[in-house]
Structure formats: C-alpha cells, structure tokens
C-alpha cells in the first residue's frame, strides 16, 4: 500500500488515497500503521475516499444535503486516531488532507481557491493561503448547554504535575475538548502528559484536554495570544491539535469577557496557528483556523494479512 507521511505543526498523519474505497482498515491495522516502533508511526491516519463510496460519507452527504459522484467526487476525510478509534474532525489533519489531495492530483487548488471537504462533523471549507491553508471550522459550542448562560467552568481536571485539580470548560469543535487554564509557562512545561489527565465529569464521548496559558498582556496589537499543550483522546500528548487550538481560543475568549478580540495566535510545541472568530446573525460564531501543512515523505508498506 502506498502512503504519504504528512505533518501540520508537528501533528503527524499517515495519508492514504482510496478512490475506489477498496481498503478494509480495521482499528488494529490503523494502530499498527501508526505505531512508532512497529509501523510507520503517526498520531493518526487519514484516508481520502469519495464520500459516496463510504458509509460514513453517505451519512454525512445526506445530513448536509449534498451529492458526490464519480465524475465530481466530494472528498471525505476518514480520520482515525492512533488507537484505531474514529474521530469526528481534525483541524491539523484537514489542512494536510487538502495538501495531499493536490499532490495526488485528486484536486487542483490555486492560492485563494477553496474546496469543500466532508468529515464526520459535517462539511468544512479549506482555502489555500500564502502560509498554508485556512479552514472554515464551523461554529464552536459549549458541550454542556447550561454554560451558554454562565461562563466559568463545568468540570475539574487532574493531571500529573499539577498539585490541585483545576476548573475547566468543555467546548465542541465537532469533536470534544476540555480547556484548562494554568497560571504560568513553568506550570505548563512541568506537566507530565505521558499520563492521561482525568476530567470530572467527563463529556459523554470522552475528550481531548488542552492546557493553556493566556499571554500577559492577553491582547497586543488587537491580537490575543495563548500557549497550549494537549493530551488527545485516542492518541496521548501530541505536538499540536488544530481543533484544540480553536477550543482553547474560544475558552480563553469566554473567560476574558465581552470585549475580547476576534483573532488569536495559539503557540503549541509544534509551531503556531491563527484562529479567527466571526459573529453570525443567529448569535453563534464561526471559527477559522489557519496554519501550515507539509508532506514529509512517501513510501510503500504491506498491510498485515
């Protein structure tokens, strides 16, 4: 099987093209391919498949009221975590996905052009920009609907390296996130994320946990700044999580109050991304995530029998 290794701010992926939807990728095959000792090694695996040829794609097409055909395929991002589980969305992965579709000649995309990408979380739009790709990530929401009228925390998080449990706020970007604010960069550096943090109560489908330190001052030149580390559901600590950076910026913005700015730079161990919020007429906010993506190498691997 031919594959490409991709990375986006250090979040790395095995990319596979499956235009005929022939591949049978079980959870254990994905785990093996993503294993850094026994396989290729990656945080997750992404299969490019025309939406109409794959069950989850057909469901997503009908929910979005869209069509996909052999002549004009709508590409589905079949994202799997390194432990073999499915996830709804991947913000770094979708930029790598667009880059890969271009390299595989499945699409053409000039600077300023956009393509639709179907995911388990619904339709996303990826625009090619100078620094990489800007993704229309849809709206963010509180996982606990009660939080819409309050604005502090909905859970407590414990982690190795923290002496006390800390309050946290859970936010959906299509997939679940729990954001915890820390007092300073030293506390962020000292966290030991080899161990999964515990979240009490845990959101119904598990959660990715983002630890953030808002910059001091929080806003400079009309731009907010946050540092972040993440423990991803189904993976462990990663160098970056795109949906996590959106959730982190959304949470810090909620905590900062009504006059918080709309554009944010989030620094992660693997680099930097930009997150922008735009108010909609229904009161919700659209989120755009911009950052780089790179294809690292291409290879061949035999799938286990």
Ligand X SMILES: N[C@@H](CCC[C@H](N)C(=O)O)C(=O)O
Name the DSSP letter for residue 303. P
- Closest Cα to residue 208, out of 156, 183, 171? 171
In order, the DSSP letters of 287-301 are EEEEE--EEEEEEE-
Q: For residue 28, give every residue at least 6 positions away whose Cβ sits within 8 Å of its Cβ, in sequence order, or none.
A: 84
Q: Which of residues 233-252 bind ligand X (CB under 6 A)?
A: 233-235, 241-244
In the annotated binding site for substrate, the residues are: 11, 81, 91-92, 175, 208, 232-233, 242-243
227 contacts ligand X (rule: CB under 6 A): no
Gap between the terminal Cα atoms of the chain: 13
At residue 169, the 3 state secondary structure works out as strand
User: Any contact of residue 81 with ligand X (CB under 6 A)?
Assistant: yes
**Angle at the Cα of 147 (from 280 to 120), degrees rounded to 5?**
60
> What is the x/- site pattern for ligand X, positions 2-21, by CB under 6 A?
---------x----------
Note if 90 is an active site residue: yes
Residue 261 is given by DSSP the state -
Is the CB of 120 or the CB of 225 nearer to ligand X? 120
Judged on CB neighbours under 10 Å (0-12, 13-18, 19+), 22 is exposed
> At its nearest, how many Å lie between ligand X and the CB of residue 31?
14
Select which of 239, 241, 266, 289 is catalytic.
241
Of 39 and 82, which has the nearer Cβ to ligand X? Answer: 82
Q: Which of residues 58-77 bind ligand X (CB under 6 A)?
A: none
Select 68 or 240, whichever has its Cβ closest to ligand X: 240
As a residue count, the chain comes to: 305
Query: Looking at beta carbons only, is 11 or 153 nearer to ligand X?
Result: 11
Q: From the CB of 206, what's the least distance to ligand X, in Å?
A: 7
Name residue 33's beta-bridge partners. none
Per rule CB under 6 A, count of chain residues that contact ligand X? 18
Find the binding residues for ligand X in span 163-192 (CB under 6 A): 175
Query: Least Å distance between CB 234 and ligand X?
Result: 5
Answer yes or no whether residue 90 interacts with ligand X by CB under 6 A: yes
Query: Which run of H or E residues covers position 141?
Result: strand 141-142
34 as an active site residue: the answer is no
**Segment interacting with ligand X (CB under 6 A) among 27-35, 46-54, 55-63, 232-240:** 232-240
Binding-site residues, in ranges, read: 11, 81, 91-92, 175, 208, 232-233, 242-243
The phi, psi pair for 167, rounded to 5°, reads: -70, 150
Name residues whose C-beta falls within 8 Å of residue 117's C-beta, 6 or more positions apart in sequence: 75, 76, 77, 94, 97, 98, 123, 124, 125, 126
Report the residue number, 45 or 213, with the smaller CB distance to ligand X.
Answer: 45
Least distance CB 221 / ligand X (angstroms): 26
* Site for ligand X contains 124 (CB under 6 A): no
Residue 7, both tokens: 């990375």
Interface with ligand X (CB under 6 A): 11, 44, 81, 87, 90-93, 175, 208, 232-235, 241-244
The residues annotated with a catalytic role in the active site are 90, 241
């Amino acid at each position: 099987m031919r594959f490409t290794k991709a990375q986006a701010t250090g979040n790395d992926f095995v990319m596979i093209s499956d235009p005929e939807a022939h591949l049978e990728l079980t959870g254990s095959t994905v785990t093996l391919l993503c294993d850094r000792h026994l396989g290729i090694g990656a945080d997750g695996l992404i299969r490019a498949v025309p939406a109409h040829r794959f069950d989850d794609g057909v469901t997503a097409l009908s929910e979005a009221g869209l069509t996909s055909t052999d002549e004009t395929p709508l590409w589905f991002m079949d994202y799997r975590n390194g432990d073999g589980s499915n996830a709804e969305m991947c913000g770094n992965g979708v930029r790598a996905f667009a880059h890969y579709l271009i390299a595989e000649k499945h699409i053409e995309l000039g600077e300023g052009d956009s393509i639709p990408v179907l995911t388990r979380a619904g339709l996303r739009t990826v625009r090619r920009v100078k620094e990489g790709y800007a993704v229309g990530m849809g709206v963010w929401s509180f996982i606990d609907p009660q939080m819409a009228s309050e604005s502090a925390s909905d859970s407590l998080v414990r982690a190795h390296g923290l002496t006390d449990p800390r309050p946290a706020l859970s936010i959906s970007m299509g997939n679940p996130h729990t954001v915890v604010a820390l007092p300073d960069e030293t506390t962020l550096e000292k966290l030991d994320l080899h161990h999964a943090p515990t979240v009490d109560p845990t959101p119904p489908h598990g959660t990715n946990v983002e630890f953030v330190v808002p910059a001091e001052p929080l806003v400079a030149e009309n731009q907010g700044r946050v540092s972040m580390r993440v423990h991803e559901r189904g993976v462990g600590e990663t160098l970056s999580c795109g949906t996590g950076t959106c959730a982190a910026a959304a949470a810090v913005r909620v905590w900062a109050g009504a006059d918080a700015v709309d554009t944010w730079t989030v620094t992660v161990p693997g680099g930097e991304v930009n997150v922008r919020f735009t108010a909609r007429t229904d009161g919700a906010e659209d989120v755009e995530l911009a950052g780089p993506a790179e294809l690292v190498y291409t290879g061949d691997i035999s799938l286990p029998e």
